[in-house]
Amino acid sequence: MDRRDFLKKAGAAAAVAGTGVTASGLARAGSPIKWKMVTTWPKNFPGLGTGANNLAKLITEMSGGRLKVKVYGAKELVPAFEVFDAVSRSTAEMGHASAYYWKGKVPEAQFFSTMPFGMTANEMNGWIYYGGGQKLWDETYKPFGVIGRPAGNTGVQMGGWFNREINSLADMKGLKMRIPGLGGEVLKRLGGTPVNLPGGELFTALTSGTIDATEWVGPYNDLAFGLYKAAKYYYYPGFHEPGTILEALINRKAFEALPKDLQSIVENACKIVNQDMLAEYSARNPGALDQLVNKHKVQLRAYPDDVLVQLRKVSAEVAAELAGQNKAAKDIYDSYMQFLNASKKYSAISDLAYLKARDAG
């Protein structure tokens, strides 16, 4: 019996040695790795919050429960705008947000979120995955010990909710509007006051008069927040956010400590959610807009052409000035603009030409 027991133990040790797994590692193999994910969105909020939930669910299920991710909505573990710092400091292993929220800490990160009159969702995906964008993103976040990955996209957003009509540039002056990122800087150049508020505070701020206008996302999300009860006019297009990336923030040390198969699961779960969220917005926005206009009698308005012309001009100036802040910003901007300009030429004879032909009748 002693001899057989010895041979069993020796065989097990040899198997462990052969795979490079330590005995202590083998003993821990049955214990799941537990991660926390903090978000800038209200818990379970349609589209954004549920996208974070979906990412956590996919990672947990695809790993067979070996890596379990628990989601915390805004303020549950950390305030909405402290998500980046929480992941950087290892308070949480993951976050779900958008990069323009970190402009005070990493100004050039805004290019990995969206740019006024910039790339659409499909173009952003092309740039990140195949146009060198991901490499630049990795370099941008590396000093903070954070990895960023696309994990959702809203598509072209709406221009926003206003308590007064926008008939000319004069109507932008003095306007207090919740609008983050580079779009907020554009408003500031036109005499308005940009305010950065998390989504959960928008309705109260708009009804109380703290702000005169707000952009959020689009019909699907705006209907869920009941913003039609707080403002009369709903403007389009969302020049400031034509294809906004929602990012998965991942603590670099936590990620690199994972075995390769779990790393691959995290990476691919992000890709799945990135595509799934865009598909959901494409499916939900048309019906939500119909409800807003026909049921709730929202006044849908287009920005006047001359206002859009000026917005485009100022947007280009703002982006170029950001690019001039440092070499990293310039490298990102140059790469972004090179990809955008190539995409414009192609979309003129593909998507744009097709849509014009399709809708001509």
Q: 88-123: string of b/e by CB count within 10 Å (b at 16+)?
A: beebbbbbbbbbbbbbeebbbbbbbbbbbbbbbbeb
Residue at 124 is within a domain: yes
Q: How confident is the model over 174-196, as pLDDT tens digits?
A: 999 999 999 999 999 999 999 99
Residue at 125 is within a domain: yes
Q: Distances from the Cα of 140 to the Cαs of 39, 105, 143, 331, in angstroms?
A: 20, 11, 7, 11
As a whole number of angstroms, the distance between CA 249 and CA 271 comes to 13
Residue at 194 is within a domain: no
pLDDT at 10: 44
Residue at 97 is within a domain: yes
Annotate 32-86 with DSSP letters as a single string: PEEEEEEESSPTT-TTHHHHHHHHHHHHHHHTTTSEEEEEE-TTTSS-GGGHHHH
Please tell me the total count of domains within the chain.
1
CATH code where residue 256 lies = 3.40.190.170
Determine the structural domain holding residue 270 and report its residue range.
32-155+243-282
Residue at 26 is within a domain: no
Q: How confident is the model over 15-47, as pLDDT tens digits?
A: 434 434 432 343 245 799 999 999 999 999 999
Residue at 50 is within a domain: yes
pLDDT at 30: 74
Residue at 166 is within a domain: no
Annotate 244-313 with DSSP letters as a single string: PEEEEEEEHHHHHTS-HHHHHHHHHHHHHHHHHHHHHHHHHHHHHHHIIIIIS--EEEEPPHHHHHHHHH
pLDDT at 29: 59
pLDDT at 270: 98
Low-confidence ranges of the chain (pLDDT < 50): 1, 3-4, 6-28
Cβ(178)–Cβ(213) below 8 Å: yes
Residue at 263 is within a domain: yes
